[in-house]
Amino acid sequence: AQKVTQAQTEISVVEKEDVTLDCVYETRDTTYYLFWYKQPPSGELVFLIRRNSFDEQNEISGRYSWNFQKSTSSFNFTITASQVVDSAVYFCALSEAILTGGGNKLTFGTGTQLKVEL
């Protein structure tokens, strides 16, 4: 069975600090996708990044960066110079192989609440 573990329930940082959110996953599939979603206080789910299992190239996008390591089954997310607007719940998710018939299932971690304070 697929599993996503976000061991950090809540993280508090002071603005401008760097913060890393951890994600560890389990899967038997050789082809899979990993995602990070952000859920601000308004409640919607905002897509941040998608990575497939064949692409371990790490990525930087503005203040965000991602570290994907298949050897340790980890897909960590770092915010550099955090800002108050980064305060949100962040979910890591793993996409299972296609459900019978064509769809796919996302398995979510339990989320990490990030609080950025002045």
Partner 1 sequence: TAGITQAPTSQILAAGRSMTLRCTQDMRHNAMYWYRQDLGLGLRLIHYSNTAGTTGKGEVPDGYSVSRANTDDFPLTLASAVPSQTSVYFCASSEWGDYGYTFGSGTRLTVV
How many residues would you count in the chain?
A: 118
- Cβ nearer to partner 1, comparing 3 with 63: 3
Minimum distance from CB of 83 to partner 1 (Å)?
24
Binding piece for partner 1, criterion CB under 8 A, among 16-24, 63-71, 78-86, 107-115: 107-115
Q: Which long-range contacts (CB under 8 A, 24 or more apart) does 63-70 make?
A: 66/36, 68/34
Residues 10-69 that bind partner 1 (CB under 8 A): 32-33, 35, 43-45, 47, 50, 52
- What is the CB-side half-sphere exposure of residue 25 using CA atoms within 13 A? 30
| DSSP 8-class letter at 73 | T
102 binding partner 1? (CB under 8 A):
yes
Residues 82 and 16: their CA atoms lie apart, in Å, by: 5
Residues forming contacts to partner 1 in the complex (CB under 8 A) are 4, 9, 32-33, 35, 43-45, 47, 50, 52, 91, 93, 95, 98-106, 108-111
